[in-house]
Structure 1
Amino acid sequence: MLHGDRAVRRRWMALLSLGLLLAPRGSSAQEAAAAAEAAGVRAFSLHEAITYAEKRNPDLLVTRARVQAARAAALVPRAQWLPSVGATAQIIGSTVNNSTATVLSNPRVDLPRIGATRISAEPDFTPYASTLVAVGMRQELFDFGRIAAQTAALDAQAELERQRAEGAKLDVALRVTEAYWAVRAAKSVARAADEAAGRAAAHRDAARAGVGAGLRTPVDLARAEAEVARFEVAKVRAQGSLAAAQAVFAAVVGVPDAALDAGDEASEDEAPGALDELLERAREGSAEIHEAKARVDLAKAETRAAAALMRPDLFLTAAISGRAGGATPSNGSTVGGHGFAPLVPNWDVGVVLSVPIYDPVLVARRDALREVEDVREAELQATRVMQEAAVRQAHLGLVAARQALAALSRAAAAARANHEQAEARFKAGLGTMLELVDAEALRVEAEVERAVGGFAVARARAALQRAVAEVR
């Protein structure tokens, strides 16, 4: 009887030691947070990450530079209203039959024909010198809407670049959101792997104690050792995936750090809203539709600018010049220098009306741009259809992901309950190590699937927000 009491007492002491070994350990989430803090990894909430990316993301810096360049280009046609000043200096050797002044035309100075006529019955092929120094000015008086049309075309180009920048802003917000939730999911997987590794180690220690107490077989210990090794490998891989996700998050946000952690955020489970409301918001605020409209406006503005080039131009011109020709004029008067010194001064002021009557190149360009207008209108209609389809697809994807997440949450809860029961049976000596290992594997798989399902919901919601042009 005494021997039987000792056996029972030893059995209960062994079971007590098993219970202590299987007791829950410290919070792995707190340990992970402490480890991240010790490693010096900054953490951003989703709102902080998007706000920071809008200022520092390299892609957005490029798009803003393009907008500024387009706005600067739109100022170029307006400069035609400012006076232009030019100068020329010429020295020419040529024959001067019936002319004692020889000058070359140039686009900087408007020069009227000034000079005495040399009358000669016989052609004279003797070269004479001619010189010219002149300064001229031209001022636009009335352009008949040509400059305004050119300015409107470049303003439309700047607006198109601005709409592209808005679309790029939404794209960056989408990438930041996906990277943020990828870090959150990777942290959940790493936490599940870490907790599983801890439980596997506790199970191994319990199996070792059970073998020492004669309550377990060596097979149970060997299986427990194998499970510890498997979960240690899974833990290392999960930590590597987390580090990679943090590196991607840092790069997308644009921080100079090598890694960026995802801080706490509100619940990831939010109602997507009614489909009709989402479609209406997409029609009003879709970046793709706004960009397509900007392309239509640009095509129309370029057509008007091309047509405006065929309008008249009225401008003021003035010049001050000194010139001389080496040939003797008909009146016999000569100046010193034999044409090599521009000693004869002149000035002129005039108002010029230039009328392009017909230019086939300008007409062909105008007609070609009208065809481009039709193309841009067709693209706008196609964009409307494709955007509605994108909203519908994103909405259905979010609904499906939320339904799957609910099922995964139930599966995770059931797996945890199953694991707790298997663990209780193992503590009481009623369950086997194989049963506990299977329950552990089922729990870890369910927790990982729950984390992946949460990421799928967050990514689907971000895609829907991008489709309706929302930035969280």
Structure 2
Amino acid sequence: MLLGVRIVRRRWAVVLSLALSLAPRVSSAEAGAAAAPPPGVRAVSLREAIALAEKRNPDLLAARARVEAARAAASVPRAQWLPTVGATAQLIGSTINNSTATILSNPRVDLPRIGATHISPEPNLTPYASTLVAVGVRQQIFDFGRIAAQTAAAMAQADLERTRAEGAKLDVALRVTEAYWAVRAARSVAQAADEGATRASAHRDAARASVEAGLRTQVDLARAEAEVARFEVAKVRAEGALAAAQAVFAAVVGVPEAALDASGAQDEEEALGPLETLLERGREGSAEVQEAQARVDVAKAETRAAAAQMRPDLFLTAAISGRAGGATPSSGSTVGGHGFAPLVPNWNVGVVLSVPIYDPVLAARRDALREVEGAREAELQATRVMQEAAVRQAYLGLVAARQALGALERAVRAARFSHEQAEARFKAGLGTMLELVDAEALRVEAEVERAVGGFEVARARAALERAAAEVR
């Protein structure tokens, strides 16, 4: 009998530890603060919690911010259709062999060669000054599809971020669901521990009365006192686990409160459908598959954009400039200021066709992106296989959890009946305190295991819904 009681005690300790682990671990300071449930904790249903999380969860807020940033980046290539305006100012000292006006090329202003030519049979190494002030504008006329390809690549990246955000929403819904049912399970464990402590106190009082009447020994009373202390400790730990689960629930949902409770209202569960339907959903429409498909689309769009960089470019250019050179021209008059004052005005308008006949860097980038595209295709196929396996695993886990819960329900009924019989025998003086302790531990253990089993069923169903969820 003593061996049986020790075994039951060890099993009860293991089950209580499992129940306490339903809520994620917190620091010792947080655990001390959560020793008692905060007063006035708001209770919400699972549907309300998910709706709140979609508005407040920090991960979803960050995901939406990334989507908006990607959409803003997608508008950048289109800006190439807008005119660009640039300016330059130059002061140069150089020799003037065959040129009396020297300017440096720059990417902001397109300037033609304008200037008198100094012709001398002998090279002249004397430096002269040249100045330039110019303002120019450039307008894209036709790009042969280059900008459109760049825009498509940026939009594909934005679609990838949107798909990731949808997956993040499903992940948050899964975490909220797990936290919700963890609170429910922790409350059931706390209730079982509280009821066990109440019954243990009643058994101790009965044992004390029997000892005072001379019907039982002090050993029975000491045993009963030890059981009361053990159940009181279990009650305190269960209440702490409940408070911690409520705190985690609030953090996952993203509400400003320190704790959030799970209401007892049951949301109507939708039928999940047959396994084949779930497998098809996971293989074609799940968040993981949709993200992998979006990665393929991004790779294809980037390959097309890289290839489009090798297409011609047609644009309009115009500029207004003032310039001067300090050297004496071969004909005409000398400009005052010795080249330090840009006094000679000019303007120009032109249409330029730029054709990149061959650029090895662009060609190498295009070929590399084609290889990336093939890798993304292979990843997509692998994701389909893995997601189908995940759905199948989650489905079998749900089936097993439901079967286990049915067995746990029967165990609870049997344990309660056994406890009632042991209690009746103890009150009639036919049973011993060890029998009653054994029956009491078995009953609480069964009730806690049923609470954990209910949590496992809810978590398995949530995991299956997440694995087969379609991104809309």
Q: TM-score, normalised by structure 2?
A: 0.90
Report what 2:73 is aligned to: 73
Is this contact kept in 1: 2:118–2:328, CA < 8 A? yes
User: Quick check: 1:168 aligned with 2:165?
Assistant: no
| Greater displacement, 266-275 / 72-81 | 266-275
Distance 1:42 1:100 in 2: 85
**Structure 1 residue 432 displacement after superposition:** 2.4
Q: 1:354-403, CA deviations, whole angstroms, 9 ceiling, x for partnerless residues? A: 00000011111101111111100000000000000000000000000000
Q: 1:267 to 1:234 in 2, by over 3 A?
A: farther
**Gap runs ≥5 in structure 2:** 1-34
Report what 2:283 is aligned to: 283
Is this contact kept in 2: 1:324–1:344, CA < 8 A? yes
User: Quick check: 1:198 aligned with 2:231?
Assistant: no
Q: 1:91-143, CA deviations, whole angstroms, 9 ceiling, x for partnerless residues? A: 11111111111101100000011111111111111111111110000000000
Report what 1:339 is aligned to: 339
**Structure 1 residue 87 displacement after superposition:** 0.4
Q: 1:427 to 1:269 in 2, by over 3 A?
A: farther
**Structure 1 residue 238 displacement after superposition:** 1.0
User: Quick check: 1:132 aligned with 2:126?
Assistant: no
Larger radius of gyration: 1
- Which residue identity is paired with 1:355? V
> How many positions carry a matched residue from both structures?
437
Is this contact kept in 1: 2:87–2:108, CA < 8 A? yes
Report what 2:434 is aligned to: 434
Distance 2:270 2:240 in 1: 30
Report what 2:148 is aligned to: 148
Q: 1:413-454, CA deviations, whole angstroms, 9 ceiling, x for partnerless residues? A: 111111122222323333322222111111000000001101
Distance 1:284 1:383 in 2: 10
Q: 1:94 to 1:38 in 2, by over 3 A?
A: closer
Report what 1:183 is aligned to: 183
Report what 1:456 is aligned to: 456
Q: What is the DSSP-based 3-state SS (H/G/I as helix, E as strand, rest coil) of the residue aligned with 1:138?
A: strand
- Which residue identity is paired with 2:177? T
- Which residue identity is paired with 2:337? G
Report what 1:56 is aligned to: 56
**Structure 1 residue 55 displacement after superposition:** 1.4
**Structure 1 residue 89 displacement after superposition:** 0.6
Is this contact kept in 2: 1:187–1:242, CA < 8 A? yes
| Greater displacement, 444-453 / 275-284 | 275-284
What is the correspondence of 1:50-449 to structure 2 with a 5 Å cutoff? Answer: 50-266=50-266, 272-449=272-449
Is this contact kept in 1: 2:36–2:243, CA < 8 A? no
Q: What is the DSSP-based 3-state SS (H/G/I as helix, E as strand, rest coil) of the residue aligned with 2:339?
A: coil
Q: 1:127-160, CA deviations, whole angstroms, 9 ceiling, x for partnerless residues? A: 1111111000000000000000000001001111
Is this contact kept in 2: 1:397–1:460, CA < 8 A? yes
Report what 1:468 is aligned to: 468
| Greater displacement, 94-103 / 422-431 | 422-431
Distance 1:407 1:274 in 2: 24
**Structure 1 residue 280 displacement after superposition:** 2.0
Q: 1:16-47, CA deviations, whole angstroms, 9 ceiling, x for partnerless residues? A: xxxxxxxxxxxxxxxxxxx9887132222111
Q: What is the DSSP-based 3-state SS (H/G/I as helix, E as strand, rest coil) of the residue aligned with 1:455?
A: helix
Distance 2:53 2:95 in 1: 71
Q: Using the aligned pairs only, state the percent identity.
A: 84
Q: 1:290-314, CA deviations, whole angstroms, 9 ceiling, x for partnerless residues? A: 0000000000000000000000000
Distance 1:395 1:223 in 2: 46
Q: 1:212-270, CA deviations, whole angstroms, 9 ceiling, x for partnerless residues? A: 23333322212111110110111111112112212221221112222221112427998
Is this contact kept in 1: 2:38–2:243, CA < 8 A? no
Distance 1:269 1:218 in 2: 54
Q: CA RMSD in A?
A: 1.7
- Which residue identity is paired with 2:228? V
Is this contact kept in 1: 2:37–2:240, CA < 8 A? no
**Gap runs ≥5 in structure 1:** 1-34
